[in-house]
Amino acid sequence: MIRIENLTKHYKEVHALKGVSLHVPAGELFAYLGPNGAGKTTTIRILTGLTRLSSGDAFLNGFHIEKNTLAAKKQFGLVPQSVNLDQELTVFENLDVHGRLFHMAARDRKRKISELLEYIDLKDRVDTQSKKLSGGMKRRIMIARALVHSPRILFLDEPTVGLDAGIRRRIWALIKKIQQTGTTIFLTTHYIEEAEFLADRVAFLDEGRIVATDTPQNLMDRLGEWAIDRVVDNEMQTAYFRTREEARDYGSRQNESYTLRRVNLEDAFLALTGKKVK
């Protein structure tokens, strides 16, 4: 559904993408994970026609993004990182404008908007001015807006950035629900637990290069199941183990106090790049 081949992007002397290739099959929820500046937004901007690529190819549902732009643009909905609803317009008007851009008939727009507001549990806000909504509601409305024209692919750029933990979980539930309708979802995040919870597969992006692509479980299994953290000479050191017993045994032989915990995706990223995601 999404195919990227050897994609590069230069902004003058900055090499934001240095040859990214990946394939996301239909229906998959794919997370693109990396620290600030890794190139996540640049990739989404290229795929959605907001920035031109420097070299390489990219296809959405078989349509080349620069040779068959119009058809490619119909394949996706985009939820950008920052809130860009028209604050003066009502919820209905914000969604309706989007439907008009895709030349949907008035009756179809009305039906689809009502269906989507029901789906995201905000039907009672249909006539509310967008500026009166909470941050979490605005995010849900932006997701609904991206779905008005029934795209096959949904791009979510940091969909829960700045939201508190409870609201973040609500958005996660909505994203899972959308995937269950068969939509392919491409999500960027620097919240490790978001990728771990949501994604079928994850790509780790570091300085414009993909360093690993796999399921969250396989990426973590490369290290083991248990980790021991301890502070040695003011530095955190982590050791990995297959079993809890091995880890406990190791811990009991150390002079310092230690913390025993399960391996997470952050460990996998750190092991591959030497960096933390956050």
Question: Residue 11, interface with ligand ATP (CB under 6 A)?
Answer: yes
Other CB atoms within 10 A of residue 227 CB: 20
Least spacing, CB of residue 47 vs ligand ATP, in Å: 12
Regarding 10 and contact with ligand ATP (CB under 6 A), the answer is: no
Tell me the closest approach of the beta carbon of residue 12 to ligand ATP, in angstroms.
Answer: 7
- In whole angstroms, the minimum distance from the beta carbon of 153 to ligand ATP comes to 18
Q: What is the DSSP string of 39-106?
A: SHHHHHHHHTTSS--SEEEEEETTEETTTSHHHHHHTEEEE-SS----TTSBHHHHHHHHHHHTT--H
Residue 27: CB partners within 8 Å, gap ≥ 6? 1, 179, 182, 183, 184
Return the residues of window 224-263 that contact ligand ATP according to CB under 6 A.
none
- Asked if residues 23 and 10 have their Cβ atoms less than 8 Å apart, the reply is no
Query: Which of the stretches 36-44, 66-74, 87-95, 270-278 binds ligand ATP when contact is defined by CB under 6 A?
Result: 36-44
Report the distance separating Cα 225 and Cα 243, nearest Å: 7
Give the total of residues touching ligand ATP (CB under 6 A): 12
Nearer to ligand ATP, 82 or 234 (CB): 82
Q: Does 38 bind ligand ATP (CB under 6 A)?
A: yes
> What mask, x for binding ligand ATP by CB under 6 A, covers residues 156 to 195?
----------------------------------x-----
Query: Which residue in 122, 99, 112 sits closest to 171, CA to CA?
Result: 122
Nearer residue to ligand ATP within complex by CB, 99 or 159? 159
CB of 248 to ligand ATP, least distance (A): 37
C-alpha–C-alpha distance, residues 32 and 234, integer Å: 32
Nearest Cα neighbor of 134 from 80, 188, 171 is 171
Q: Which is nearer to ligand ATP, 113 or 187 (CB)?
A: 187
Residues of this chain that bind ligand ATP (CB under 6 A):
11, 14, 16, 34, 36-42, 190
